[in-house]
Amino acid sequence: MPDKSNQQNPGERIAKVMARAGLASRREAETWIATGRVAVNGAVINSPALNVTTSDRIAVDGQPLPRRERTRLFRYHKPRGLVTTHSDPEGRPTIFAALPKDLPRLISIGRLDINTEGLLLLTNDGGLARVLELPATGWLRRYRVRAKGRVIQPALDKLRAGITVAGVHYGPIEATLDREQGANVWLTIGIREGKNREVRKVLETLDLQVNRLIRVAFGPFELGDLGDSEVKEIESQALRTELGEKIVAEASADFDVPLIEHDARPISPRQPETRVKRDSHDEEPPQRGHPNDKKKQPRRDRTGGPRPSRPR
């Protein structure tokens, strides 16, 4: 049944407001509320079923909620060796620790595993992140894939009808054989769901072992010539055009709020994260080492495939 109290109470759900402030995703915000970390007008709350307005005072761990910022989106070229999380219980290096310090607090739109490289979208708007991650949005994620083995195009064409692997159904997959190179093949793969390890699991059914995975596009946004570890903001006008009015409305994105300059990335009120099953695709077992450690860097690719900095 509808919550009549919230129908009569103006404003927005508190988790949505917290996500919009870029402090956390909506799901994370609900977890923080349930653990007693959030207070409204001085009183600790334990349920996200609460609407708040601009007149309410919201605090997380005693710190005031950051003021609302303009919706911003950044393209980031994630290298191998970094995990897509704000903190890692195993102590592995994270993408957020590697970002420039003058950026606002950002969250990722989906995740790339430690061994996957390429385009990762980052935003300060949790509402936008949630909408773009929804299966209903259906944006195409495009990858360049190197895999050990042999395959013919007709076998790849069958993936357009979808496939079920170990009881999990994967929707239509666009797959093109680009070329053979030694013991490997190079493929271009397009998926819309992004289920856990989707590309790897599906290709395993064709006796292909993925040994390099590069995301080159997410919806209308492309990796292009973005260099390793480089981050670049998408201008507000171009962003609004690419998103379209439907997504802008669903995400409650705001392009009219003035920009806020950040001398240093704000410290988020986070406690150490616990290990949970990730929703993103292509997660792999942990690897040790940091990409800045020259002795542990992966060797430059010699197979004729695209270099990490400029995959096409």
Same domain flag for 163 and 20: no
Same domain flag for 83 and 226: yes
Domains of the chain: total: 2
Same domain flag for 227 and 101: yes
For the entire predicted model, the pTM comes to 0.73
Whether 196 maps to a domain, the answer reads yes
Whether 239 maps to a domain, the answer reads no
Whether 194 maps to a domain, the answer reads yes
Fill in the amino acid letter for 116: T
100 vs 107: CA distance, rounded Å: 14
Backbone angles phi, psi at 295, to 5 degrees: -70, -20
pLDDT of residue 5: 42
Whether 201 maps to a domain, the answer reads yes
Strand partners, 145: 187, 213
pLDDT of residue 254: 87
According to DSSP, residue 296 is labeled G
Same domain flag for 33 and 90: no
Whether 310 maps to a domain, the answer reads no
Same domain flag for 137 and 19: no
Whether 89 maps to a domain, the answer reads yes
Same domain flag for 182 and 44: no
Pairing of strands 209-218, 117-123: parallel
Domain end point (choices 64, 81, 107): 64
Told to judge if 113 belongs to the known catalytic residues of this protein, a careful annotator would answer yes
| Residue 201 contacts residue 155 (beta carbons within 8 Å) | no
Same domain flag for 189 and 80: yes
Q: In the chain, which ranges are E strands?
A: 12-13, 38-40, 43-44, 51-52, 58-60, 63-64, 73-78, 107-108, 117-123, 141-148, 163-165, 168-170, 174-181, 184-191, 209-218, 221-222, 231-233
Q: What is the largest CA-CA distance in the chain?
A: 67
- Give residue 12's domain range: 4-64
Domain end point (choices 205, 233, 261): 233
CATH number at residue 34: 3.10.290.10
pLDDT of residue 12: 84
pLDDT digits (tens, 9 = 90+) for 154-208: 999 999 999 999 999 999 999 999 999 999 999 999 999 878 889 999 999 999 9
13 vs 191: CA distance, rounded Å: 32
Same domain flag for 44 and 114: no
Set 3, 88, 102, 113: catalytic member: 113
CATH number at residue 164: 3.30.2350.10
pLDDT of residue 196: 82
Same domain flag for 144 and 219: yes
Same domain flag for 208 and 152: yes
Whether 251 maps to a domain, the answer reads no
Whether 145 maps to a domain, the answer reads yes
- 3-state SS, one letter per residue, for 178-191: EEEECCEEEEEEEE
Q: Is 75 strand, coil or helix? A: strand
Angle of CA points 177, 137, 111, to nearest 5°: 65
pLDDT of residue 261: 62
pLDDT digits (tens, 9 = 90+) for 58-72: 999 999 987 778 899
| Regions of the chain with pLDDT less than 70 | 1-9, 22, 260-312
Strand partners, 63: 60
Same domain flag for 203 and 143: yes
According to DSSP, residue 286 is labeled -
Q: What are the DSSP calls for 124-191, one per residue?
A: S-HHHHHHHHSTTT-PPEEEEEEEES---HHHHHGGGG-EEETTEEE---EEEEEEEETTEEEEEEEE
